[in-house]
Amino acid sequence: MRRNGILLAYTLALACMGHAPAASAVLTLDPKAVAAAQIRTTRVEAAPTAPPIAAYGWVLDPAPLAGLAGQLASAGSEVAAARARLALAKSAARRAEALYRADHNVSMATLQNAQAALDVAAARLRGAATQLAMLRAQARATWGARLAHALDAGISPLPQLSSGATLLVRVSLPLGQTSQHPAQAEATTPDGARMALEFFSPAPQAARGTAGQSFFYLAQGAAELPTETPLTVDLPAAPNRLGVVIPASAVVWQDGEALVYRDLGHGVFAPFPLPALVRTAGGYFVPQQGALVPGARIVSQGAALLLSASQAAKAGRAAAGDRD
């Protein structure tokens, strides 16, 4: 079955090379090729608003945050102490040089020792500053800029997280879905209890086992929940967001980006990128954009073959260009 699909994609690619210009991603097929590929199309339906996004959540352990905050505080103190030692060393070196120049009131050895102490103090400050910079970079890479700043400065929400008055929740979207991280969301615990979440910042890393967008949310007064508790999170969609619903079979993925093929008529199929889409029971909700409006006809069966044919045709044209 897979072999037949590959052969069919290759056949379609040959047909595409004969009709489409080299710089175009538009595919043009004759009726026989369309029938052989069993391509089916459908009209997209209007949807008045986007449905809520069902996301995954986890209650995070605050211990790593507290530990990193302690390391940052210690490194910051070391930098401050190193600066103070450097200032003393500079003063001592200037004094020794002045005394040495004033009729050699101190020996050359004393001057050299003072200058060496200055060099050591400067090197220690550079080392302390480098260590602090590395910790700050680690905090930003792991927790994002806003939470990293809170860790570095010891400000809210760090005290509340450390005391357990506030929980830090990582919310992750399923792959292929996007969100503008609404300020408020609602989470459901495994026992059915519901709690309010408040957006804090984007998460710079995807959560374990997921590849979608991730965000940090705060939950107040839920200290009884243990860390790593899984949550089901409902993220409200943007209000009054017009769009269309497209079947799941119409969506194909290329380099991590979703797209559909629009049927332009007369065997012409054009790819249409989908920068934002929300999974629904009937397929995907896509915000209304460009030519993808209610009534537009898209490929609902055979989109994967069209994508394969497009890629094969592109590779064939590149090979032909190399031979030329």
Between strands 194-202 and 214-220, the pairing is antiparallel
Helix (H), strand (E) counts: the chain:
7, 16
Same domain, 164 and 58: yes
- 162 assigned to some structural domain: yes
- Start-end of H helices in the chain: 2-19, 31-36, 63-101, 108-143, 145-153, 158-163, 303-323
- 190 assigned to some structural domain: yes
Segments forming the whole domain that contains residue 209: 54-62+155-235
Beta partners for residue 218, in sequence order: 168, 198
Same domain, 228 and 295: no
pLDDT mean over 227-243: 80
* Residue-wise pLDDT tens digits, 125-164: 999 999 999 999 999 999 999 999 999 999 999 999 988 8
Same domain, 222 and 249: no
* pTM across the whole model: 0.60
Instruction: Please tell me the least confidently modeled range out of 23-27, 46-50, 72-76, 112-116.
Output: 23-27
CATH number of the CATH domain containing 84: 1.10.287
Same domain, 58 and 164: yes
Please report the pLDDT score of residue 212 as a whole number. Answer: 77
Which two structure tokens, joined as six digits, stand for 232? 């089901």
* Domain end point (choices 235, 265, 293): 235
Q: Which residues contact 104 (CB under 8 A, 6 or more apart)?
A: none
| Confidence band of 7 (pLDDT split at 50, 70, 90) | very low
Cα distance between residue 290 and residue 41, in whole Å = 19
CATH number of the CATH domain containing 220: 2.40.30.170
pLDDT over 60 at 10, yes or no: no
Please report the pLDDT score of residue 6 as a whole number. Answer: 43
* Residue-wise pLDDT tens digits, 264-274: 999 999 999 98
- 283 assigned to some structural domain: yes
Same domain, 212 and 180: yes
Same domain, 118 and 80: yes
* Residue-wise pLDDT tens digits, 285-301: 888 778 888 899 999 99
Same domain, 111 and 249: no
Same domain, 244 and 307: yes
CB 53 within 8 A of CB 66: no
- 244 assigned to some structural domain: yes
One-letter amino acid for residue 133 of the chain: A
- 117 assigned to some structural domain: yes
* Domain end point (choices 201, 235, 269): 235
CB 216 within 8 A of CB 144: yes
Same domain, 199 and 213: yes
pLDDT over 80 at 210, yes or no: no
- 150 assigned to some structural domain: no
Cα distance between residue 153 and residue 174, in whole Å = 33
- 120 assigned to some structural domain: yes
CATH number of the CATH domain containing 286: 2.40.420.20
* Residue-wise pLDDT tens digits, 82-108: 999 999 999 999 999 999 988 778 899
Instruction: Please tell me the least confidently modeled range out of 3-7, 217-221, 230-234.
Output: 3-7
CB 81 within 8 A of CB 60: no
- 149 assigned to some structural domain: no
Same domain, 206 and 230: yes
* Domain end point (choices 235, 255, 286): 235
Question: Considering its fold, how many domains does the chain have in total?
Answer: 3
Same domain, 58 and 205: yes
What percent of the chain is predicted at pLDDT more than 90? 52
pLDDT mean over 299-322: 77
Same domain, 58 and 182: yes
Mean pLDDT of all residues in the chain? 85
CB 36 within 8 A of CB 11: yes
What percent of the chain is predicted at pLDDT more than 70? 84
| Sign of the alpha-carbon torsion through 50, 54, 59, 60 | negative
| Confidence band of 22 (pLDDT split at 50, 70, 90) | very low
pLDDT over 50 at 120, yes or no: yes
